[in-house]
Structure 1
């Protein structure tokens, strides 16, 4: 199954990000992605089956994967040099019960699938992309103001 998404404004966004330092640009992207994805994570948490321990509490937005996931991800995206990535899902690292999230989502031979991540994404993807657009520009404006303030301070010093 393929999904087509039309996104506009990336050229302008990239030009604006080029005016910032690499670290500031990454910070803008990271903060915007995290804020935009949090409602999707909250929706997935609310859709998690109740009798699955602490699964609902384990759904997070984060930049880290466990060891196995990181190895698979590196192999899949070896040639992709994207600057910032965020992941939404049950956290293996939180200790809150996320270790079995994939088994609940996809099922096992003993247990029927009880999807909660995919339905949350399907329900929220358009709104998430709209939030991301708004958050990116808001974070960019803040970062530009901080950079201008820093430059003015340096210029005043001499």
Structure 2
């Protein structure tokens, strides 16, 4: 029986580029990808939220800080340190501190969900956006 051998050229170069990917797709690029994907959810949430004064609607943001988190927003991440928050911000102008009361209801008012339906309706689009943006970032890093 004859043995077949092959030599792969460029493997060392490929391995070096793969080792550099985490740095090439650094936190700045990950933030950008997640912020843009989060806006898909936030846009629909702003359309779905009931409007009285408009403060709750206008407080729905995508943020790289969870400081204004009121317990009813969403977080979106890539499994590492980079995470964004999507939802009403409290202690802001306008202040959406009562978003959880609208989303889940109270003993006196019925729930009027807007965050969960926004997430459920857009999750496929958000996943595709993240996947495509990450693939583009990887392709750019591989060429660089």
TM-score calculated relative to the size of structure 2:
0.70
Q: Give the aligned length.
A: 122
Once the two structures are superposed, the pairs formed by residues 3-152 of structure 1 within 5 Å of their partners are 18-20=19-21, 22=23, 25-51=26-52, 53-66=54-67, 82-142=80-140, 148=144
* Superposition misfits of 4+ residues, deviation over 2 angstroms: 15-18, 20-24, 66-70, 137-145
Which of the pair is proportionally richer in strand?
Answer: 2
Task: Summarize deviations over 1:3-37 as a string: whole Å, max 9, x none.
Answer: xxxxxxxxxxxx97741464851111111111112
Structure 2 portions without partners, runs of 5+: 1-15, 72-78
RMSD over aligned Cα atoms = 2.9
Which of the pair is proportionally richer in helix?
Answer: 1
**Rg: which structure is higher?**
2
TM-score calculated relative to the size of structure 1:
0.65
Q: 1:112 to 1:17 in 2, by over 3 A?
A: farther
Q: Which has the higher contact order (CA 8 A, sep 6+)?
A: 1
Structure 1 portions without partners, runs of 5+: 1-14, 71-80, 149-158
Task: Summarize deviations over 1:29-54 as a string: whole Å, max 9, x none.
Answer: 11111111211100000000012541
